[in-house]
C-alpha cells in the first residue's frame, strides 16, 4: 500500500551503493504493507548519484538523503531526527517486513504505556533458517518487558524518547551502537520490550565470510562501552571476559588473522581510553545490573538457534 499524507510511522534505513539489490528488496516489502500511514527515509552513506536516481525513479515517495561518504552511524541519527512519525521503525537495508508488520507496530505501541520506548522485533535469518530470540536460547532468561538492548536489524522507537536520551553515538561503528543508545534510553526511564510477534526477515548475505576488521571494531568498541558506563572496579573483569570471548571466537574460526585484528582493537581501545572516559555517564544501578546479567548469560552460553523449515518466505522469486 502506498503511504498516505498522514504519517504515524517513519521507516528509517541507512544504506550504501554496494547494497542496492538488498535495499530494493527491503523497499518493495515496505510498499506491500497493509498500513498506509507511513513514510520512508533512506540515508545513502555512499552519496551515490546512481543509487539516488534508481530509488527516486522506482519509489518517488521515498525521502532520500545523500550523506557524505563514510558518514557511518550518524546517518541513522539523521534519519531518526528528521522522521515525522510519532513512531520510528529502523531497518537494516537487507531486512524485509511482512505486510502486517507496520500495523502490528502501530497497534502494539498504542496499547503500551508511554514508558515503553523501544520495541525490538524477532529476527528471522533467511540463510540459516533460525530466529535470533526464540527458544531454546539464553534470551528466555531475560525479562522481555525490560530487555537490556535491541536489534538494529528491526526495531521501533517512540520518537519522543530522543529528547531525553539523544541519538546514536557517531564514534561507535559496527558494534555496540544499539547497546550504547539502549543504555541511555533505559537510563532516561524508558523500557525496551522484546516483541516476538513482530517479525522481520534478515537476508544476512555472505554470513560465513570472515570480515576481519569486525574483530577490531568489536574489541575497541567494547572497551569504550565499558569505560563509558560501568564502574571502574568492574573494568578488569570485563576486560578478561572480552579476551576470553576473542580467543573463543578465534578458535571457532581457526584464524590467527582474526586474533591479530582483535588484539589490535583492544590495544587501540586502551590507548584511546581517555577519549571514552570523557564521555562517561552515570547510570542507574538497576540499568547496569540488567545489562550485566545479559553479559553474564552471553558469556555462559552459546546461542542455540531454532531451525524452522516451514516459514513463509519473503524473498523475491
**Could you tell me if 38 and 186 lie in one domain?**
yes
**Could you tell me if 99 and 162 lie in one domain?**
yes
Q: CA 12 to CA 147: how far, in whole Å?
A: 22
**Could you tell me if 194 and 251 lie in one domain?**
no
**Could you tell me if 36 and 155 lie in one domain?**
yes
**Could you tell me if 186 and 42 lie in one domain?**
yes
**Could you tell me if 23 and 153 lie in one domain?**
yes
**Could you tell me if 238 and 187 lie in one domain?**
no
For position 192, which CATH number holds?
3.90.550.10
Q: How many helices (H) and strands (E) does the chain have?
A: 11, 9
Within a domain: 35: yes
Secondary structure (3-state) at 299: helix
Q: Choose one of 147, 171, 202: the last residue of a domain.
A: 202
**pLDDT attached to residue 50:** 83
Within a domain: 147: yes
Q: Choose one of 247, 262, 278: the last residue of a domain.
A: 278
Within a domain: 208: no
Q: Classify the C-alpha dihedral 25-27-31-32 as positive or negative.
A: positive
**Could you tell me if 228 and 196 lie in one domain?**
no
The torsion defined by the Cα of 8, 14, 17 and 23, in degrees rounded to 10, comes to: -50
C-alpha cell at 210: 570472515
**pLDDT attached to residue 240:** 86
Within a domain: 297: no
**pLDDT attached to residue 139:** 59
Q: Which residue carries 541519527 as its cell?
A: 77
Domain count, the chain: 2
Q: CA 95 to CA 314: how far, in whole Å?
A: 10
Digits of tens for pLDDT over the chain (317 positions)?
Answer: 666 568 999 999 999 888 888 999 999 999 999 998 999 999 988 877 888 888 889 999 999 998 876 678 899 999 999 999 999 999 999 999 999 999 999 999 999 999 999 999 999 888 878 888 775 555 566 788 899 999 988 999 999 999 999 999 988 887 899 999 999 999 999 999 999 899 999 886 555 455 778 889 999 999 999 999 999 999 998 988 888 888 887 787 777 888 899 999 999 999 999 988 999 999 999 999 999 888 877 655 433 332 333 434 444 43
Within a domain: 15: yes
- CB of 177 closer than 8 Å to CB of 169: yes
**pLDDT attached to residue 312:** 44
**pLDDT attached to residue 252:** 77
**Could you tell me if 114 and 186 lie in one domain?**
yes
**Could you tell me if 59 and 189 lie in one domain?**
yes
Within a domain: 270: yes
Within a domain: 302: no
Can you give the pTM of this predicted structure?
A: 0.86
Within a domain: 1: no
Query: Which domain, by its residues, includes 70?
Result: 9-202
**Could you tell me if 140 and 185 lie in one domain?**
yes
**Could you tell me if 249 and 129 lie in one domain?**
no
**Among the listed residues 74, 79, 16, the one whose alpha carbon sits nearest the alpha carbon of residue 50:** 16
Amino acid at each position: 500500500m502506498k503511504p498516505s499524507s498522514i504519517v504515524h510511522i517513519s521507516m528509517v534505513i541507512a544504506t550504501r551503493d554496494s547494497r542496492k539489490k538488498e535495499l530494493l528488496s527491503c523497499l518493495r516489502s515496505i510498499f506491500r504493507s497493509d498500513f498506509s500511514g507511513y513514510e520512508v527515509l533512506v540515508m545513502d552513506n555512499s552519496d551515490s548519484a546512481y543509487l539516488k536516481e534508481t530509488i527516486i525513479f522506482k519509489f518517488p515517495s521515498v525521502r532520500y538523503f545523500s550523506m557524505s561518504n563514510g558518514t557511518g552511524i550518524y546517518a541513522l541519527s539523521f534519519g531518526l531526527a528528521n522522521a515525522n512519525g510519532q513512531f520510528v521503525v529502523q531497518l537494516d537495508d537487507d531486512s524485509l517486513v511482512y505486510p502486517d508488520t507496520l500495523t502490528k507496530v502501530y497497534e502494539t505501541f498504542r496499547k503500551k504505556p508511554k514508558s515503553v520506548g523501544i520495541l525490538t522485533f524477532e529476527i528471522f535469518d533467511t540463510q540459516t533458517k533460525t530466529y535470533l530470540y526464540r527458544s531454546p536460547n539464553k534470551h528466555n532468561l531475560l525479562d522481555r518487558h525490560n530487555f537490556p538492548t535491541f536489534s538494529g536489524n528491526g526495531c521501533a522507537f517512540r520518537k519522543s524518547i530522543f529528547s531525553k536520551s539523544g541519538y546514536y553515538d557517531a564514534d561507535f561503528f559496527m558494534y555496540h551502537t544499539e547497546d550504547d543508545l539502549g543504555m541511555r534510553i533505559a537510563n532516561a526511564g524508558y523500557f525496551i520490550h522484546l516483541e516476538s510477534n513482530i517479525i522481520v526477515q534478515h537476508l544476512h548475505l555472505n554470513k560465513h565470510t570472515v570480515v576481519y576488521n569486525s574483530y577490531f571494531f568489536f574489541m575497541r568498541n567494547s572497551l569504550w562501552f565499558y569505560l563509558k558506563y560501568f564502574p571502574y572496579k568492574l573494568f578488569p573483569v570485563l576486560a578478561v571476559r572480552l579476551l576470553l570471548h576473542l580467543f573463543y571466537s578465534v578458535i571457532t574460526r581457526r584464524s590467527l588473522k582474526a586474533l591479530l585484528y582483535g588484539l589490535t582493537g583492544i590495544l587501540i581501545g586502551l590507548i584511546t581510553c581517555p577519549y571514552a572516559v570523557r564521555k562517561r555517564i552515570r547510570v542507574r544501578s538497576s540499568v547496569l545490573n540488567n545489562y550485566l546479567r545479559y553479559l553474564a548469560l552471553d558469556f555462559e552460553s552459546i546461542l542455540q538457534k531454532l531451525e524452522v523449515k516451514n516459514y513463509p518466505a519473503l524473498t523475491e522469486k
